[in-house]
Structure 1
């Protein structure tokens, strides 16, 4: 059986000199393809960074997967809209990305980002 590798990274999209800290638990995830669901978690420490984003980087492409401008709201971007991804934003400083039914083509680098602007 193949092993799926999901590498999660941190990305700050605005205010680099301000020193916002982004913490992402489980930086590297190895999972078996199939029915399994995995959730990536991210948080930051500055409540003026209202927008949180998730990016997915594969060979040759980096795509905006999802974003949230406030608590309890999230938008999944096309072509991911009707797919296996769910973004949750329970608090201003926290976000998660759920990936359902992991498959080998889900192997990617997933970036969590925070931004002052949308």
Structure 2
């Protein structure tokens, strides 16, 4: 039985509070999915981003420029990641079919521009 550890951090952004409810998450690999939640408090911060940091790199996974819009970045496109943005202040990132290499630090960020 494999377990996947997720460490969750909100990326500090000047003038906006970005909050991820969970600080860490432990999930069983190969049979689970997880959904990471993020929110912020400024309606003029139209863009939201999800990053994944591993030992070797920090990668942009997905971004959204408006509510009900999201793009998964290559090489993660058409994969296990789904970003949802139901409203300007909230976003989620779903990771399906967990594997041990999904263990990482996941960051959420908000911005006025792309």
* TM class, shorter-length: over 0.9
Checking the alignment, whether the CA contact within 8 Å between 1:23 and 1:43 is kept in structure 2 is yes
Paired position in structure 1 for 2:3:
3
Checking the alignment, whether the CA contact within 8 Å between 1:12 and 1:115 is kept in structure 2 is no
- Deviation for aligned residue 1:35: 2.1
Checking the alignment, whether the CA contact within 8 Å between 2:49 and 2:110 is kept in structure 1 is yes
Paired position in structure 2 for 1:45:
41
Give CA deviations for 1:52-103 in whole Å, capped at 9, x if unaligned: 0000000120000000000000000000001100000000000000000111
Paired position in structure 1 for 2:87:
91
- Deviation for aligned residue 1:108: 0.4
Paired position in structure 2 for 1:30:
26
Provide the secondary structure at the position in 1 that maps to 2:74.
coil
- Deviation for aligned residue 1:27: 1.4
Misfit runs of 4+, over 4 Å: none
Checking the alignment, whether the CA contact within 8 Å between 2:48 and 2:109 is kept in structure 1 is yes
Instruction: Name the TM-score, length of structure 2 as normaliser.
Output: 0.96
Cα distance in 2 for partners of 1:112, 1:71 equals 15
Equivalent residue pairs, number: 114
Structure 1: segments with no counterpart, 5+ residues: none
Instruction: Name the TM-score, length of structure 1 as normaliser.
Output: 0.93
RMSD (Å) for aligned C-alpha atoms: 0.9
